[in-house]
Amino acid sequence: MHDKTLTELAASLAAGEFTSRELTEHLLGRIERHDGDLNSFITVTPEQALAAADAADATRARGEAGPLTGLPVAIKDLFCTDGVLTTAGSKMLENFVAPYDACVVERLKAAGTVSLGKTNLDEFAMGSSNENSAFGAVKNPWDSGAVPGGSSGGSAAAVAAGLAPAAMGTDTGGSIRQPAAFCGITGLKPTYGRVSRWGIIAYASSLDQAGPMARTAEDCALLMNAIAGHDPRDSTCVARGVPDYRTELAAPLSGLKIGLPREYFGDGLDPAVEAAVREAVAVYESLGATVREVSLPHTHYAIPAYYVIAPAEASSNLARYDGVRFGHRCEAPRDLIDLYKRSRAEGFGEEVKRRILIGTHTLSEGFFDAYYKKAQQVRRLIRQDFLDAFEEVDVLMGPASPTPAFDLGAQKDPVSMYLQDIYTIAVNLAGIPGMSVPAGFVGDRPVGLQILGTHFAEQRLLNVAHQYQQATDWHLRRPKLAEESA
């Protein structure tokens, strides 16, 4: 049951092979047995899940089931969930029970999905390894000595390990694509503004975007149908029609123009990763695509620009965690300043503090022009790079990450950790959509092929990814951990 894709599960539920309750019980059992070791969930909600499954089965019995009715999903613990602990992976919110649902959660509920619980993440989505979680690191299901990637590491690991057929993630600088790559699953970061941010605990508001993580592109399309679209509660969410993301999946790729950004194949790229990516590109050629090299000349400014803009926004977004209304409050504060200082010092982890400090500094009087303003100028140039490239080609391809999953504890220097996101971060600055698709292994660790398109080209990306998955079976591989426990 747990090896099936979301699309297959939907068919099985429709055919009456099993009920949503049976499926949900099976997955809850797996979580119970294996997640103690994996640590991909922060909160499991069996009671709510079974109630939702029963409701879904009843809906189906009435003949009112939709395409997602009764399908279990896991939710990154950055999405507010009504009445359920919502921690953002932080001690600051270890007791925070959200009083409302995020838009994505609301829409998934309305579609009849069954939430299994809330997945682990780097604190406030700040990290690339899931090691910055106040609730402990997550292990990579393919190799328990490796990280699952981050920040949506729990979501990626849960899907890869067969604990959930799909999960919701968020991506601010690569947080869906990189863990998807590290865990050998498929992840889509939609165009900025495609999915509502209402109820997603903000890290960097101008970059944050929610998206699906699942086994296949087809599954991602199914989930996008439920979550995409205008939400008047998010002013940056675009009022633009939502297509049925499944309709173009089967479109042939003959004539597809693929661009390989020169800058994505340079120094620092693991040759084995490069080999896997070039092999994937060769598959596309065999499917009728043409390939050419393109240039994104400002790529090397992406990480510096990101680490000005994202921390600046974060320093402001995280100011609300002051110990006054909700979240962690220090014991017996002497006065207001003491309350602020100790509540925040105790509640936030190292990386979060580092980014708050960076952001506070770059916004300070006398530094604003040199850092924030300059970074915004760079951001426009990076966006223009992509727009220019998409004048020539339909999609861009490259590695999702310069290396496969690295060892737990291996990246001690924050800057070298930041450099992990070199291929994903510019995408958020430009606001375009991107996917990571399983494309082979280096040893037993998966490699992700990144596919990028222009704004609102999700349908095209899903089509391109789906055709690759019709021609390859990397996405069907399962880690031993999951197989053994079957």
CA gap 461, 458 in Å, rounded: 5
Facing residues of 259 across strands? 292, 396
Residue 235 interacts with other proteins (CB under 8 A): yes or no = yes
Residue among 183, 182, 126, 186 at smallest CA distance from 417: 126
Closest CB 171 distance from other proteins, rounded Å: 16
Query: For other proteins, which is the closer residue by CB, 318 or 430?
Result: 318
Residue 211 interacts with other proteins (CB under 8 A): yes or no = no
- Angstrom CA distances, 441 to 273, 403, 405, 445, 474, stand at 8, 11, 10, 5, 8
Residue 306 interacts with other proteins (CB under 8 A): yes or no = no
Residue 334 interacts with other proteins (CB under 8 A): yes or no = no
Whether the bond into 12 is cis, omega within 30 of 0 = no
The site string for other proteins over 96-115 (x = CB under 8 A, - otherwise) reads x-xxx-x-------------
Burial of 143: CB neighbours in 10 Å, binned 0-12, 13-18, 19+? buried
Choose one: 13-21, 173-181, 267-275, 312-320; the region binding other proteins (CB under 8 A): 312-320
- One of 18, 265, 340, 441 touching other proteins (CB under 8 A): 340
Residue 357 interacts with other proteins (CB under 8 A): yes or no = no
**Element (DSSP H or E) covering residue 396:** strand 395-399
Choose one: 49-57, 88-96, 161-169, 222-230; the region binding other proteins (CB under 8 A): 88-96
CA gap 99, 115 in Å, rounded: 17
Handedness of CA 140, 69, 187, 235 (dihedral sign): negative
Residue 204 interacts with other proteins (CB under 8 A): yes or no = yes
Residue 175 catalytic?
yes
- One of 368, 377, 380, 486 touching other proteins (CB under 8 A): 368
Query: For other proteins, which is the closer residue by CB, 273 or 309?
Result: 309
| Element counts in the chain: helices (H) and strands (E) | 16, 11
Residue 82 interacts with other proteins (CB under 8 A): yes or no = no
Residues near other proteins (CB under 8 A)? 79-80, 86, 88, 93, 96, 98-100, 102, 197-202, 204-206, 232-236, 312-313, 315-316, 318-320, 322, 324-326, 336, 340, 360, 363-365, 368, 372
Write out the catalytic residue numbers.
76, 151, 175
